[in-house]
Homo-oligomer: A and B are copies of this chain.
């Protein structure tokens, strides 16, 4: 087994902060998880042990290889769905961070097999729409969890080159080119879903077109630090 160098202390701390931000922003509840690719090895990633994101501290962050094996769990329980992260990092070299959640407003879109589309400029990253992962097609009747490398790879295939994939009867997974960007996208995927539900009920919706989506994504994601500064302040120091 390859043992990578120790990850950057600030990255570990930032991942603990990301866990707490996602709870405070309503993306995760007691469930869901966020990972970041190891800064010293592209074949490893950092993810908390099996626990509620709101409680994650630095010392709860473990190192995993892309097969989902924890290098340093020391007997602690790990997330059943760590394969989501490993297989996406394997399939998508551009991805540096992954958020898996049961973000509430997104669930009805998965359950009705309708894609999210970008309703405003904060969500240009949804310009390619969302794809749907139907686990029943891949594995029949299951406990819906992505609990193996094979299922993780199938999810990564459904994601393709997109920013987000809906998981019918389960939740969604969102990726980014940095931890901050993945968190930003997870927060605004929830916002977009809520607004899209309301707009569809109200009338005929004009979404961002492809050109608008690409341009808003490029511009708006330069503004991510503005949100991160506030969110980090609000969660306060991690233990």
Contact = CB atoms under 8 A, between A and B. Distances in A.
Nearest to A188: B29
- How many copies of the polypeptide does the oligomer hold? 4
Given A52-B227, A120-B170, A229-B55, A145 B108 contact: no
Contacts of A226: 30-31, 50-52
Interface string A191-224: 1001101111111111111011001101110010
A31 B224 CA distance: 10
A175 interface: no
A107 interface: yes
A119 B51 CA distance: 24
A128 to B, nearest CB: 16
A197 B201 contact: yes
Interface residues of A, number: 67
Nearest to A219: B143
Contacts of A209: 136, 141
A213 to B, nearest CB: 9
B55 A233 contact: yes
30 contacts: A30-B226, A31-B223, A51-B229, A52-B227, A55-B229, A55-B230, A102-B120, A102-B122, A104-B191, A104-B195, A105-B198, A107-B195, A108-B205, A109-B202, A110-B120, A111-B207, A112-B202, A121-B145, A121-B170, A136-B209, A140-B211, A141-B211, A141-B212, A143-B212, A143-B215, A144-B208, A144-B215, A145-B216, A168-B206, A169-B212
